[in-house]
Amino acid sequence: MTAEAPAAVRSMNLGGAINAGLRAAMERDPKVLLMGEDIGQLGGVFRVTDGLWKDFGDHRVIDTPLAESGIVGTAIGMALRGYTPVVEIQFDGFIFPAFNQITTQLAKLHYRTKGKLSVPVVIRVPFAGGIGAVEHHSESIEALFAHTAGLRVVSPATPQDAYDMIQQAIASPDPVLFLEPKARYWDKGEVDTARVGTQLEAVGGAQAATAEMSRARVAREGKDVTLLAYGPSVRLCLQSAELAAADSVSAEVIDLRSVSPFDMETVLASVKKTGRAVVVHEAPVAFGTGGELAARIGEKAFFHLHAPVMRVGGFHMPYPGSKFEHDYLPSVDRILDAVDRVMAH
Amino acid sequence: MAGIGPLSEEGLVRLLDHEGRRVEDATYDPYVSHLTMDDLRAFWRDMTLTRAFDLESTSLQRQGELGLWVPALGQEAAQIGSAHATRLPDHIFPSYREHGVLHVKGIDLASIMGMWRGMEHSSWDPTAYGVHTYTLVIGAHAPHAVGYAQAMDWDGLVGSGDPEKDGAVVCYFGDGATSQGDVNEALVFAAVNNAPVVFFIQNNQFAISEPTTRQSKVPLAQRASGVGIPGVRVDGNDVVAVHAVTRWAMEHARSGQGPVVIEALTYRMGAHTTSDDPTRYRTTSDEQYWKDRDPIARLETFLTSADELPEDFKAQVEADGKELARRTRESVKGWQRGPVEQMFDHVYGTPHALVQEEKAWFNRYEASFADQEVAK
Ligand SMILES: Cc1ncc(C[n+]2csc(CCOP(=O)(O)OP(=O)(O)O)c2C)c(N)n1
């Protein structure tokens, strides 16, 4: 672990924490640069890069042409020369023109060159739903990318994690898909801004940072059932746990933080304790990350389980019109319904 | 202000100047010689109605009745002038800002708000109007337009020798879209297949906050020469010139001579969408410069100086605009969400076990709340 640093605690919202994390990373390493559509003068459509263009100039905060494949493709070239591009894809639904570059190139170069080449590109994506947006602006894309070996896929749920994890992702020698729960950009929290810097500046910092970024966090302790979530669904699970407690059900909430890899050690420790698990994500349940988790729990903790692992998530349909999204998305009621069902065993 | 490269006035076809005076152009005059004053008044009416609708829609969004609105403000001439150069069996692939085009094609603007209210993803029958559904993923519809055009050709709708029967495709997109791979691939496919498609670029000078100079060093119409097809630049705030150029291009494509790129230089007078704040990236003096070049005002000046815009006609159009705004407001406010289970419909064209299972689960789940209500 890293040495104790003097705490510098500031109150920030999640979007502001990413902004501060980007700034810290750019100050720490002159090779870190940002690219994307409207990220410069405008500061991004969610203002996550606000002020950075003004302070770092247009060589380090680059408004790109409107072409996602070009954004990721050129970022790969820059990374090959030792730069660390942090690119923004404006919305989850617009990552697909870059799908080829991400899956056939970015994810595979290290493997194909037997480790001789590293492409530490970070792809930031405001993702998931709940903000009443028009189509293609609410997509949960994690399974598509978690299915691609060579990419790390992470999603912070709190301002502290947002601040730390964006810097850890940038420090990581692996390419990282950094999924920002856009409906949580305005969630506020206390952020210790000193700790992660100390970690990164220590010898072996990048390795330690990558390892820490990939670890889950017990967001609430409990003993009857484990709720597994990441990104936007963590807050929902905490609310559900609160309500379950009123019903005398003690729910533990695990914030996975990393989707690829999953921190199975933390997951298994919890499930072995509670004997029940409910996975919650906004993405469609079918062929999703919940299925992967459920299978792994089944394989590794079968004899500890009192009930089948349940999944709560989106349905097998395109994301519906926003007037329907609150019926489509997992809700506290749907989580509690699943909790009831596992508790019935 | 007029700028450099893709923001310059280089090569712009113009038939009405900024002061609304007719300028001669030997090449394109023949394509508007058929227009009567009635036709021009109809153009003016369509532009004015589109704007009335647009302003109403922005205020509906401000009142929380729409999730988002994408204004066409300032682009009325580019849209109305070009759409009037089409007729069935022509087929149109819009992006998402072409409300003026929809209006000309007979789609009741008051009926298109479901998408912007979050009720549905499209609001009209594309086959009935010859207008494809809006596409929000930048440039993704451009290859569709090309494929559609190739198929029209195979089906004998192109170069048949009977101009009344022939058709072509128009594909609308913005300056930002010209950077997308899909758009560039569409140009290549159109060119090598001699597809009857007109790519109509509305260069409104911005892709959200980025000026067109972030997308191109040269006027966008020059992209055409790279694939070996004609490209024309037109003053997009001159409805007459836009009409002339598009008419020429459609005849070119319909008669089997292949694709064309049109770049209409215009100005996005409003925000990108109601979520956008243009004060962060452009000056009020720039906005004023283009306000002084308002496309509707230009035609109005021309008609007025010719004494061809009688007060009673203007008054009627104003009343029609108010009526359209009223119907839009009523239609938006009257939208009732149907039963929630309808969100499971149309995922597939044939029954799909997983969807059926999830729908059944959802209905049982919903019903369980009703049961609880009864039990209480
Ligand atoms: C593939 C893709 N990337 C990003 C976006 C987000 N986005 C929506 S509109 C827009 C700018 C479009 O500019 P332009 O093509 O010039 O058309 P305009 O909106 O100005 O009419 C962007 C970047 C998108 N819709 N699709």
Q: What is the CATH number of the domain that holds A170?
A: 3.40.50.970
Question: Within this chain, do residues B349 and B328 fall inside the same structural domain, yes or no?
Answer: no
Q: Looking at the partner chain, which of B120, B280, B354 has a beta carbon nearest the beta carbon of A286? A: B354
In a domain, A1, yes or no: no
Query: CB under 8 Å, gap of 24 or more: what pairs does B27-30 form?
Result: B28/B241, B28/B244, B28/B245, B28/B248, B29/B244
Question: Within this chain, do residues B282 and B344 fall inside the same structural domain, yes or no?
Answer: no
Tokens, residue B93? 């692939």
pLDDT band at B34; cut points 50, 70, 90: very high
Mean pLDDT, range B170-198, rounded to an integer = 98
- Ligand 1 atom, smallest distance to A66 CA: 23
Per-residue pLDDT at B185 exceeds 90: yes
In a domain, A4, yes or no: no
Question: Within this chain, do residues A158 and A245 fall inside the same structural domain, yes or no?
Answer: no
Listed in sequence order, the DSSP H helices in chain A are 14-28, 52-56, 68-80, 99-100, 109-112, 142-146, 159-171, 195-201, 205-213, 233-246, 264-274, 289-301, 325-328, 332-343
To which residue do tokens 């109601």 refer?
Answer: B274
Question: Within this chain, do residues A205 and A222 fall inside the same structural domain, yes or no?
Answer: no
CA of B177 to the centre of ligand 1 (A): 7
Q: Are B60 and B52 in contact (CB under 8 A)?
A: no
Helix-strand-coil split of chain B, %, nearest 5: 50, 10, 40
pLDDT by residue (tens digit) across B340-349?
Answer: 999 999 999 9
Q: Which of B134, B183, B286, B358 is the mutation pick for testing A, counting most A CBs within 10 A?
A: B358
Per-residue pLDDT at A314 exceeds 50: yes
pLDDT of residue B111: 95
Catalytically annotated residue among A136, A137, A147, A326: A137
Question: Within this chain, do residues B267 and B367 fall inside the same structural domain, yes or no?
Answer: no
Question: Within this chain, do residues B177 and B273 fall inside the same structural domain, yes or no?
Answer: yes
Per-residue pLDDT at A2 exceeds 60: no
Inter-chain touch A65–B179, beta carbons under 8 Å: yes
Question: Within this chain, do residues B344 and B253 fall inside the same structural domain, yes or no?
Answer: no
The more confident residue out of B347 and A4 is B347
Question: Within this chain, do residues B210 and B351 fall inside the same structural domain, yes or no?
Answer: no
Question: Within this chain, do residues A25 and A102 fall inside the same structural domain, yes or no?
Answer: yes
Question: Within this chain, do residues A147 and A93 fall inside the same structural domain, yes or no?
Answer: yes
Instruction: Report the candidate in B46, B61, B44 with the shortest Cα–Cα distance to residue B324.
Output: B46
Number of domains, chain B? 2
Inter-chain touch B365–A328, beta carbons under 8 Å: no
pTM reported for the whole predicted model: 0.97
Inter-chain touch A136–B137, beta carbons under 8 Å: yes
Among candidate residues B317, B334, B351, the one where a domain is terminated: B334
Report the C-alpha gap between B174 and B350 in whole angstroms: 36
Mean pLDDT, range B24-53, rounded to an integer = 98
pLDDT, chain A, mean: 97
Question: Within this chain, do residues B56 and B178 fall inside the same structural domain, yes or no?
Answer: yes
pLDDT of residue B163: 80
The total of other beta-carbon atoms located within 10 Å of residue B161's CB is 8
Q: How far is CA A43 from the centre of its chain?
A: 21
Q: Which of B333, B342, B354 is the mutation pick for testing A, counting most A CBs within 10 A?
A: B354
User: What is the set of active-site residues of B?
Assistant: 268, 272, 281
Q: Catalytic residue at A137? A: yes
Per-residue pLDDT at B374 exceeds 70: no
Question: Within this chain, do residues A195 and A221 fall inside the same structural domain, yes or no?
Answer: no
Q: Burial of B224 by CB count in 10 Å (0-12 exposed, 13-18 middle, 19+ buried)?
A: buried
Q: How far is CA A326 from the centre of its chain?
A: 21
Question: Within this chain, do residues A144 and A251 fall inside the same structural domain, yes or no?
Answer: no
Among candidate residues A213, A246, A279, the one where a domain is terminated: A213
pLDDT of residue B56: 98
Question: Within this chain, do residues A52 and A147 fall inside the same structural domain, yes or no?
Answer: yes
Per-residue pLDDT at A261 exceeds 70: yes
Per-residue pLDDT at B66 exceeds 70: yes
Among candidate residues A213, A244, A271, the one where a domain is terminated: A213
Instruction: Tell me whether A67 touches chain B (CB under 8 Å).
Output: yes
pLDDT of residue B372: 74
Question: Within this chain, do residues A33 and A103 fall inside the same structural domain, yes or no?
Answer: yes
pLDDT of residue B373: 65
Mean pLDDT, range A166-177, rounded to an integer = 98
Question: Within this chain, do residues A224 and A197 fall inside the same structural domain, yes or no?
Answer: no
pLDDT by residue (tens digit) across A70-82?
Answer: 999 999 999 999 9
Per-residue pLDDT at B137 exceeds 70: yes
- Ligand 1 atom, smallest distance to A136 CA: 25
Number of domains, chain A? 2
In a domain, A3, yes or no: no
User: A240 vs chain B: nearest CA distance in angstroms?
Assistant: 17
pLDDT of residue A1: 41
Tokens, residue A251? 């729910």
- CATH code: domain of residue B171: 3.40.50.970
The boundaries of the domain holding residue B130 are 5-334
pLDDT of residue B370: 80
pLDDT by residue (tens digit) across B242-301?
Answer: 999 999 999 999 999 999 999 999 999 999 999 999 999 999 999 999 999 999 999 999
Question: Within this chain, do residues A206 and A150 fall inside the same structural domain, yes or no?
Answer: yes
Q: Are strands B206-207 and B197-203 parallel, antiparallel or unpaired?
A: unpaired
pLDDT of residue B376: 54
**Among residues of chain B, what percentage have pLDDT more than 90?**
95
Question: Within this chain, do residues A295 and A283 fall inside the same structural domain, yes or no?
Answer: yes
Instruction: Report the candidate in A92, A93, A85, A80 with the shortest Cα–Cα distance to residue A64.
Output: A85
pLDDT by residue (tens digit) across A184-226?
Answer: 999 999 999 999 999 999 999 999 999 999 999 999 999 999 9
**Among residues of chain A, what percentage have pLDDT more than 90?**
98
> ipTM, 2 decimals?
0.96
- CATH code: domain of residue A279: 3.40.50.920
Question: Within this chain, do residues B90 and B223 fall inside the same structural domain, yes or no?
Answer: yes
Q: Looking at the partner chain, which of A41, A133, A315 has a beta carbon nearest the beta carbon of B209? A: A41
- CA dihedral (B190, B191, B193, B199) in degrees, to 10, reads 30
Question: Within this chain, do residues B239 and B361 fall inside the same structural domain, yes or no?
Answer: no
Report the C-alpha gap between B201 and B25 in whole angstroms: 22
Residues 6+ apart with CB under 8 A from B326: none
Query: Rounded to 5 degrees, what angle do the CA atoms A52, A55, A60 make?
Result: 65
**Among residues of chain A, what percentage have pLDDT more than 70?**
98
Tokens, residue B319? 């009343």
Report the C-alpha gap between A201 and A183 in whole angstroms: 32
Question: Within this chain, do residues B171 and B57 fall inside the same structural domain, yes or no?
Answer: yes
Question: Within this chain, do residues A148 and A240 fall inside the same structural domain, yes or no?
Answer: no
Question: Within this chain, do residues B158 and B268 fall inside the same structural domain, yes or no?
Answer: yes
pLDDT, chain B, mean: 96
The boundaries of the domain holding residue A336 are 217-343
pLDDT by residue (tens digit) across B201-228?
Answer: 999 999 999 999 999 999 999 999 999 9
Residues 6+ apart with CB under 8 A from A50: A19, A43, A44
pLDDT band at A7; cut points 50, 70, 90: low
Mean pLDDT, range A13-34, rounded to an integer = 98
pLDDT of residue B2: 73
Q: Which of residues 119-148 of A touch B (CB under 8 A)?
A: 132-136
Question: Within this chain, do residues B93 and B161 fall inside the same structural domain, yes or no?
Answer: yes
pLDDT of residue B81: 98
CA of A15 to the centre of ligand 1 (A): 22
CA of B96 to the centre of ligand 1 (A): 10
* String of DSSP letters for B156-209: T-SS-S-TTT---EEEEEETGGGGSHHHHHHHHHHHHTT--EEEEEEE-SEETT
CA of B95 to the centre of ligand 1 (A): 9
Among candidate residues A213, A245, A260, the one where a domain is terminated: A213
